[in-house]
Amino acid sequence: MASLFASESGQSRTNAPRLCYCGESSSVKTSMTSGNMGRRFYGCARYGVDVTCGYFEWVDPPMCQRGREVLPRMVAKMNRLENELARTVAIAVAGVDEAVVVAVLVAVVVVAEDGCC
């Protein structure tokens, strides 16, 4: 029951509308800092756009020490793998483009050879 209570409590906290001190609606954001990676929070709606009012409130409880150590390494690894995948796809696409160009050139040469005589 304790976990059910925590879940219901967290759900109502995230669904409740929040207004920052500017009076604007604040949406839930996710922290990407190494000490709080993945932890959700409310902040000033004008953050990054204008002068902020300084409103800040965590949605999720603090992460355990082990999570603070492991999660940033997992995200770094994921980013590295995504970059490698993007490079591999770019090389594959470039390879396909070269193959298409070669095929078109071969087709043109064949047509030209057939057209002569």
Q: Residues interacting with Zn ion, by CB under 5 A?
A: 20, 22, 44, 53
Q: State the alpha helices, DSSP H only, in 25-115.
A: 65-115
Residue 37 or 53: which CB sits closer to Zn ion? 53
Compute the least distance from the CB of residue 69 to Zn ion, in Å.
33
- Say whether 99 sits in a helix, a strand or coil: helix
Residue 22 or 63: which CB sits closer to Zn ion? 22
Q: Which residues on neighbouring strands pair with residue 40, listed in sequence order? A: 30
Compute the least distance from the CB of residue 27 to Zn ion, in Å.
12
- Say whether 42 sits in a helix, a strand or coil: strand
Compute the least distance from the CB of residue 16 to Zn ion, in Å.
17
Q: Are 38 and 30 in contact (CB under 8 A)?
A: yes
